[in-house]
Amino acid sequence: MVSFALFFALGVWALQQQSFLPALPFYWPLAASCLFLPQGGQLAWRVVRRALILLCAALLGFGYAAWLAESRLADALPDAWQGRDITLTGVVAEMPRAHERGQRFVFDVKSVQTANAQVPRKILLATYDGNKDEPIRVHAGERWRFTVRLKQPHGTSNPHGYDFEAWALERSLRASGYVHPKGEKQYLVSEVSGYLVERLRENVRDRFHRILGDTPYTGILVALAVGDQASISQAQWQLFTRSGINHLMSISGLHITMLAGMFFALTYWLWRRSARLTLLFPARKAAALVGVLAALGYSLISGFEIPAQRTLYMLATFAAMLMLSRNIAPSQMLAAALTVVLLADPWAVLSAGFWLSFGAVTLIFYVTANRLGQPHWLKTYGKVQWAM
């Protein structure tokens, strides 16, 4: 299980290093052939068989990542429609974020009014406030008709730097652009159905601003509550960067895991104090379920960004293993979580946070293995801090 997951991850990683997509028909039959390898036999054949299975695992990972990338790249903006006026109707899919001169938001395209125009299903739009026109203010879940100008997502790619194209591809944003200031800007209806979470996030953010006003740490609380960092001032960002804590202002696996751990510990402590509840459902399983639900709730209210999704998948996998009531090795739990995360998001291997997350959890499992008995919790805590 562990070796299979590692080679599957290796195949996914190998695909992400390619400059073009390979032909898929060649990989699937070869990867599936491992299902028909005969078992048993001499030691030499068993070694060869294991090597072939691991090769097939890598090919499966490579082919799966290629198939998903091909389907996502197919939903693209044609070259002929870059920079041209296109009228389309859609829904503001996420909580809008403020920028220097307007708003930026994800737009789910429902229909295109311009004849013969081809537009991806999900695009990133920006509005720019003019000196004469009344500013546009959109809200999550609203249906609008806009005249837009789009382009394919392109950005500079420096080693170890921010890769906008990879970021957009991972989030299925296949075009970016702006609302034409002199084009159509028609508000149609507030379409709440299907976008309730984003409307809730926006209401929470607005309530923070309404109650706290311009207090210095309003932006920080908003960033940690709903994942909107636009309200953090430039001076604060500079301070956080110089002090090395700027990463804490972005909701990540650390925040999700801390909250899930708190709910797990509290539920476990309370559940064990009721004989009726303990007989009804084991305390550890109840705590795991509550912890995952807490992680899901916080992930949704914070915008369900990719790092939060990865952490949620990991925690859900660990909880599912616990629900099986089997003595499963930590390495197998980690391998299962690795496979689930890569199935949901093959582009995760491009993120440093992915490797840091799994590396940290692996290290924690290793130093807390307790091979010679259960030490005091302070000693375990100290070992974890030393290892990190």
Q: Which of 156, 172, 190 is the last residue of a domain?
A: 190
Q: Are residues 267 and 356 in the same domain?
A: yes
Q: Are residues 204 and 314 in the same domain?
A: no
Q: Are residues 97 and 134 in the same domain?
A: yes
Q: Which of 190, 214, 233 is the last residue of a domain?
A: 190
Q: Are residues 59 and 180 in the same domain?
A: no
Query: What's the pLDDT at 379?
Result: 67
pTM: 0.81
Selection from 98-107, 243-252, 302-311, 376-385 with the highest mean pLDDT:
98-107
**Range in 210-214, 292-296, 354-358 with the lowest mean pLDDT:** 354-358
Q: Are residues 374 and 265 in the same domain?
A: yes
Mean pLDDT of 240-244: 86
Q: What b/e readout covers 144-161, taking b as 16+ CB neighbours within 10 angstroms?
A: bbbbbbbebbeeeeeeee
User: Which residue range is the domain that position 360 belongs to?
Assistant: 253-387
Q: Are residues 225 and 279 in the same domain?
A: no
Helix-then-strand count for the chain, H and E? 14, 7
The yes-or-no verdict on residue 192 having pLDDT over 60 is yes
Q: Are residues 260 and 356 in the same domain?
A: yes
Q: What is the CATH number of the domain that holds 178?
A: 2.40.50
Q: Which of 149, 166, 190 is the last residue of a domain?
A: 190
Number of domains in the chain: 4
The 8 Å CB, 24+ separation contacts for 160-166 are 163/350, 166/347, 166/350
**Range in 28-42, 139-153, 265-279 with the lowest mean pLDDT:** 28-42
Q: Are residues 86 and 180 in the same domain?
A: yes
The yes-or-no verdict on residue 371 having pLDDT over 60 is no
Q: Are residues 241 and 257 in the same domain?
A: no
Please report how many Cα atoms fall inside a 13 Å half-sphere around the Cα of residue 319, on the Cβ side: 23
Q: Are residues 52 and 15 in the same domain?
A: yes
Q: Are residues 185 and 208 in the same domain?
A: no
Q: Are residues 147 and 228 in the same domain?
A: no
Mean pLDDT of 6-25: 84
